[in-house]
Amino acid sequence: MMRLPVALPMAVIASCAVFALALLLPAVVSGYGIRILNLALISAIAVIGLNFAFGYAGLITLAQAGFVGCGAYITAILSTMVGLSPWLSIPIAVVGTGVISLAIGLPILRLKGHYLALATLGFNVSFVIVATNWKSVMGGTDGISSIPPLALPGWPIANDHRYYYVVWFALALTSWCAWRIRVSHLGLAMIAVRDDEIATGAASVGVTRIKLQAFALSAIYAGLAGALFAHMANFVAPDDFALSHSIVYLAMLIIGGEGSIAGSITGSVIVTFMPELMRDLGTAYLIVFGGLMLVILIFLPKGLLSLVNLRLGRAGTLR
C-alpha cells in the first residue's frame, strides 16, 4: 500500500510544542532554576558551535572553553574598562573570538587526531594562564567584576527571568543559522571531510580551508556564549574557562548526539541540570555521570537523540 510521510508534520508539531513550552517556563520555574536553565541554554550555544568542528568536520578539539573565555573577557574588558555598550561589545567579542580562532587554526589544523587535540588543549591551558597572570587587563585570579547587564530602553534586563528570553532568542537564532549551514554546500563539505578526507581533497575541495571554517564557526558560537555568560553573571574569572569545561562541552555533545543541533541542546540541558538533580549524592554524582557516558558510548554511540530518531523512523510512514 502507499506510504504517506508524516515526519515533517511531526517535526512541526514538536517544534511548536517546544516553542510554547519555552515561553511558559519562566512562569513556572523558580529564580534559581531559571538561572541554571540560562546556563544550560548558553552552554547549548557553545556546544552547537563545537558540533561544527567535532560533529560535522571531525576535528577533535579541546579549545571550546578557551574560546568561550575569549568572548567573555573581550566583552567584559570593553564594557568595563572602555565603557562600550554591551550591545556593541558583544558583536565585537564574537568577531574577535573568530579572528583569534583563525590565527590559531592556520598553524594547527594541519595536525590530525590526537595531535590536534593536544594542540587545542594547549590553547585552552594557555588562555587560563594568560588570564590568571595578566592582572592589569584581565584581573588575574580576581577576574573582572561589575560587568554591566544588558538593557533595552525602559526595560533593564537585570534579572534571570528577563535574561532568559534574551538567551532563548539567541539560541533559537543560532540554531536556525546552524541548520542553514548544515544543509548548505559548506555543511556538506564539512561532512565529506569528516567521512573521507583523502577523497574530498582529490575532488579539488580545499580540505584545510573547510576545516578552518568549521573551527572558526565553532569559536564564533563559543564567543557569543561567553559574552552572554559575562553579562548574565556580571563577573568572569579564569576558573570559569578551565580545560575541564572544554571536556564538559564535549560530553554534552556526545551525550546528546554529535552531528545534531537538537542533540547539542539536549545534552547541554541534561549535563547542566545533572549536578542539581543529584546534589544529595555529593561528588558521587561524578560516578553516575561517568557511568552514563560509558553506557551511551557503548549502547548509543549516536547519543540520546538517536532513541527519538529511531522512534520517528518507525512511525515515519503510514501503511
pLDDT, one tens digit per residue, over 266-308 is 999 999 998 888 877 777 777 887 887 788 888 888 888 877 7
The structure's pTM equals 0.90
Q: What is the pLDDT of residues 116-150, one digit of tens each?
A: 999 999 999 999 999 999 999 999 999 999 999 99
- HSE toward the beta carbon, residue 282, CA cutoff 13 A: 1
**Domain extent listing, the chain:** 29-242
Beta strands 317-318; 144-145: pairing state: unpaired
Round to whole Å and give the CA distance between 57 and 125. Answer: 23
Q: What is the largest CA-CA distance in the chain?
A: 73
